[in-house]
């Protein structure tokens, strides 16, 4: 692999997409709701899982960019990606992707808990997605959601923390919501040549996706609300106060839908979160309130 100069660094970073590593924060759900954040061993394993997923995800991004170069030339934004623009060579990209894959695999195997199969499943799932399953309507979004579910499992089962069934269901519905919203944004962004860019879009329609999004949004709110009041949750956390965090969830999702339909957003959850103050404040408010409740700082435990 050629030596990396300072001038090439921005292009290499765009290829690896480190801003998307924020999605790997799902691995910390187990620490938060399992009261394990103060355990140095589990915390170290969760951080290793975050690092492993980040490297593996970057390897997947490189692979996808290599495979989709010709299609990306048709996209108004993706044609600026390094491989299409020629700022990173194919050989350099393959070498960088291989390094990320190897480093991520080593971290996952040695340091990221007791379930390295989860990381292997993540890589295999993404390879299958890239080599054909991304063209299968509905299944394509379920595979995207599965990647997030594997992150949650790595941060729960992989660390020896039993995951709540309600939280798993909520995570599934939330990631389906984001996945179908992404397809809706793609459909809106490419009204003329969307089919030539992503084949699966020819099987979707805007009304159909709006129905899918509505179902997933309702499922997210209901499953999270039921989690906060379930007897298992109250017994585990020693508080009934989590119900007060529920309004943040529909507010954030409705704001996301507003961005999708009125602002041309919805295609990139990370970008939406980091650029919309309402979404950011709703997320931070929810997180701070959850931490305060679980720690007994407010509504003390009986």
- pLDDT of amino acid 194: 46
Determine the Cα–Cα distance for residues 297 and 78; give it in Å rounded to an integer: 46
- pLDDT of amino acid 239: 87
Determine the Cα–Cα distance for residues 110 and 12; give it in Å rounded to an integer: 27
Q: Which residues, other chains included, contact 93 with Cβ-Cβ below 8 Å and sequence gap of 6+?
A: 15, 62, 65, 66, 82, 83
Residues in the chain predicted with pLDDT less than 50, given as ranges, are 1, 194-195
- pLDDT of amino acid 38: 84
- pLDDT of amino acid 7: 56
- pLDDT of amino acid 87: 78
List pLDDT tens digits, range 58-111.
Answer: 999 988 888 877 776 766 677 777 777 777 788 888 888 999 999 999 999 999
User: Among 188, 169, 30, 180, which residue's Cα sits nearest to residue 112?
Assistant: 30
Residue extents of the structural domains in the chain: 16-163, 164-302
Under a CB-based contact definition with an 8 Å cutoff, are residues 302 and 238 in contact? Answer: yes
Quote the crossing angle between the two packed helices 206-229 and 248-262, to the nearest 10°.
170
- pLDDT of amino acid 236: 87
- pLDDT of amino acid 195: 45
Architecture of domain 16-163: Orthogonal Bundle (1.10)
Determine the Cα–Cα distance for residues 232 and 244; give it in Å rounded to an integer: 17
* Full-model pTM: 0.88
Under a CB-based contact definition with an 8 Å cutoff, are residues 260 and 185 in contact? Answer: yes
Determine the Cα–Cα distance for residues 216 and 191; give it in Å rounded to an integer: 24
- pLDDT of amino acid 4: 52
- pLDDT of amino acid 226: 94
């Amino acid at each position: 692999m050629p030596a990396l100069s300072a001038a090439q660094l921005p292009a290499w970073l765009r290829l690896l997409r480190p801003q998307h590593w924020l999605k790997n924060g799902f691995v910390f759900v187990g620490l938060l709701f399992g009261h394990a954040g103060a355990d140095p061993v589990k915390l170290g394993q969760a951080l290793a899982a975050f690092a492993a997923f980040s490297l593996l995800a970057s390897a997947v991004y490189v692979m996808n960019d290599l495979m989709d170069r010709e299609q990306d030339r048709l996209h108004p934004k993706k044609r600026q990606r390094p491989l299409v623009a020629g700022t990173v060579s194919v050989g350099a990209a393959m070498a960088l992707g291989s390094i990320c894959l190897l480093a991520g695999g080593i971290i996952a195997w040695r340091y990221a808990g007791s379930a390295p199969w989860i990381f292997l499943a993540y890589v295999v799932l993404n390879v299958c997605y890239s080599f054909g399953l991304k063209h299968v309507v509905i299944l394509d979004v379920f595979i995207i959601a599965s990647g997030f579910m594997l992150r949650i499992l790595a941060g729960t089962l992989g660390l020896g923390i039993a995951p709540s069934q309600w939280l798993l269901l909520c995570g599934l519905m939330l990631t389906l919501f984001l996945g179908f919203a992404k397809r809706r944004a793609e459909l809106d962004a490419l009204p003329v040549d969307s089919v030539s860019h992503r084949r699966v879009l020819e099987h979707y329609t805007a009304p159909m996706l709006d129905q899918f999004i509505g179902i997933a949004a309702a499922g997210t709110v209901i499953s999270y609300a039921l989690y906060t009041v379930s007897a298992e949750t109250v017994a585990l956390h020693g508080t009934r106060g989590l119900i007060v965090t529920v309004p943040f969830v529909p507010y954030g999702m409705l704001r996301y839908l507003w961005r999708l339909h009125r602002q041309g957003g919805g295609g990139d959850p990370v970008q939406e979160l980091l650029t919309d103050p309402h979404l950011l404040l709703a997320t931070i408010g929810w997180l701070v309130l959850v931490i305060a409740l679980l720690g007994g700082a407010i509504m003390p435990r009986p």
